[in-house]
Amino acid sequence: MLFEDEHRYRGRLLLITLDTEVPLELNTFEVAGELAEALAPVLEEGQVVRIDCRGDWQEVVSPESIETSDKTVATVLHIEVLEQA
């Protein structure tokens, strides 16, 4: 599944959700900036892709308790289309 939006501060955003073979495996990725600009005209629903990413720490604020915690998020480095839809 592919969702595209324009963020006021970050520019074009792509939210990519993959169907994976392993249940509960990391499957949702956010792509922004120059990479999103380059990939937006290329990516389509149903394509087989390989995503190269690294884990980064991000501070998350809970809206209910206003407490902060650290969360590991995937930073996408590159996406390669392996098979067209």
What pLDDT, in 10s, does the model give residues 13-45?
Answer: 998 888 777 776 767 888 888 888 888 888 888
Q: Does residue 85 surpass a pLDDT of 80?
A: no
**C-alpha–C-alpha distance, residues 56 and 19, integer Å:** 22
Query: Over pLDDT 70: what percentage of the chain?
Result: 94
Question: What pLDDT does residue 3 have?
Answer: 81
Pair type for strands 68-83 and 48-61: antiparallel
pLDDT of residue 1: 64
Is 79 exposed, middle or buried, given 0-12, 13-18 or 19+ CB atoms closer than 10 A?
buried
pLDDT at 24: 67
User: What does the alpha-carbon distance between residue 6 and residue 66 come to, in Å, rounded to a whole number?
Assistant: 27
